[in-house]
Amino acid sequence: MTEDRIFLSSPHMSDQGYEEKYVKEAFDTNWIAPLGENVDLFEKELGEKVGINYAAALSSGTAAIHLALKAAGVTRGDIVFCPTLTFSASANPIMYEGAIPVFIGSDEKTWNMDVEALKEAFLKFPNVKAVIVVHLYGLSADMEPILELCREHGVAVIEDAAESLGTLYKGQYTGTFGDYGIYSFNGNKIITTSGGGMLVSNDQRKVEKIRFWATQSRDAARHYQHSELGYNYRMSNVLAGIGRGQLLVLDDRVEKKRSIYKKYKSGLEDILEIGWMPDNEWDYANYWLSCITLNGKVKPIEVMDALEKRNIESRPIWKPMHLQPYYSEFSYIGNNFAENLFNNGLCLPSDTKMTEEQIDKVIAIVRALYK
């Protein structure tokens, strides 16, 4: 295979070398540790960017969800609602705390949490402790009715915005509506620290507690003393330096992702058997991954195989959690829309380093399957 690899979504450092500057500062000052100026300033700068008061830089988005659940008071035996259509990292931290997930279906309008299914879930499980809302593939969930329901029931809201940094819901950044917001800087995300995450909140006391837990719950004593269970969840000063540089090009990355999606749609929308991601007037999506659905003779596996033959990466839509072997025993409330998305959908390459010619190549390969 001689053609250059086209990735689904790979790390993309700034052309200006912002990341190297901040990482060099970490080396020059010898702050090669899970503390330091880059960590402090990355928290501050990201909070200012999304318009929220407090942030804690952590080792992953998964760690952030875990500590958000702890901060929300979730303990063994508690019920937590979670969308079924998501990556397993949204659900796994529920199990870390010994809690019980109840999976909620998706709607066609957003591909995210179905408000009607959520209403039904509250009727069946009135003692729920927290609700995790995911903004799938950079598409915003319809937050207003979800928040209204959760407030009516006095339930904490955790926004998993791992895939939606830079997405706006009614002019406000996703991740800033709930009690806690979660961002991921994994290598495939819209900006990256190679591995890392951030928890944001307007509750200063809770964020300080989360930082305490994330640094092994070390008490304020001269010796090493621990009165609570702790975790090694803090982000390193080196990775935070990468994050500070990446944050400076976030807007550029969002616009590139949006342009990739628009070019795919322009090049393929005349094929009636191809369906597209939702487009709501209140949602300025970052289109982290450009996804399509196939509703005819061509199946997703045929498209993925044709792309792979040309050294082009693609991927199926997330398999719903309630269909995963590990989670099959837990309750699911919703219709079959999420399952249909999994069966009929796929993610096209959405790498922000893609050239116009490479996008055209992907379009041509897909179009050829319909001749």
CA distance 351 to 348: 9
CA distance 117 to 120: 5
Q: Provide the CATH topology of domain 250-368.
A: Aspartate Aminotransferase, domain 1 (3.90.1150)
For residue 104, give the H/E element and its range: strand 100-104
**3-class secondary-structure state, position 5:** coil
* Per-residue model confidence as pLDDT tens digits over 284-330: 999 999 999 999 999 999 999 999 999 999 999 999 999 999 999 99
User: Which amino acid, residue 113?
Assistant: M
At 117, which helix (H) or strand (E)?
A: helix 115-124
Confidence of residue 35 (pLDDT cuts 50, 70, 90): confident
**Does residue 353 register a pLDDT over 90?**
yes
Position 34 confidence tier, pLDDT thresholds 50, 70, 90: confident
Q: Please state, in angstroms and rounded to a whole number, the distance separating the CA atoms of residues 236 and 37.
A: 10
pTM value is 0.97
Contact 169, 283 (CB under 8 A): yes
The residue among 262, 168, 201, 197 whose CA lies nearest residue 72 is 201
Residue ranges of domains in the chain: 18-247, 250-368
CA angle in degrees (0–180, nearest 5) for 74-76-79: 60
pLDDT tens readout for residues 206-226: 999 999 999 999 999 999 999
Q: State pLDDT tens for residues 94-125.
A: 999 999 999 999 999 999 999 999 999 999 99
What CATH number matches the domain at 18-247, 3.40.120.10, 1.10.287.610, 3.40.640.10, 3.40.630.40?
3.40.640.10
